Structure 1
């Protein structure tokens, strides 16, 4: 029974880590979208390309 409990705790920990990683990725993605919008609004092509490249790496 102890082995089952340990396995459950490990699985629960992995699930929590996955949720945390997804939340961080989503937050970073939203920040990049805002920065991309600003780059478009100001016509900053260099920043736009850099930010879209970064966005591609996290999606």
Structure 2
């Protein structure tokens, strides 16, 4: 039973890490969209390209 409990705890930890990673990815994506909008409004082509490249790498 102890081995089963240990396995369960490891799996639970992995699921928690996956949820955390997804939350961080979503947060960064939201920030990037806002920064892309700002770069577009300012006409900053370099920032726009850099930000969109980072956004593509998250997908």
Q: TM-score, normalised by structure 2?
A: 0.97
Q: Can you list the C-alpha shifts for 1:5-43, whole angstroms capped at 9, x where unaligned?
A: 000000000000000000000000000000000001111
For residues 54 and 5 of structure 1, the distance between their equivalents in structure 2, rounded to whole angstroms, comes to 40
Stretches (4+) displaced over 3 A: none
* RMSD between aligned residues: 0.4
After superposition, residues 25-44 of structure 1 pair within 5 angstroms as: 25-44=25-44
Deviation at 1:58, TM superposition (A): 1.1
Q: TM-score, normalised by structure 1?
A: 0.97
Q: Tell me, which stretches of 5 or more residues in structure 2 are unaligned?
A: none
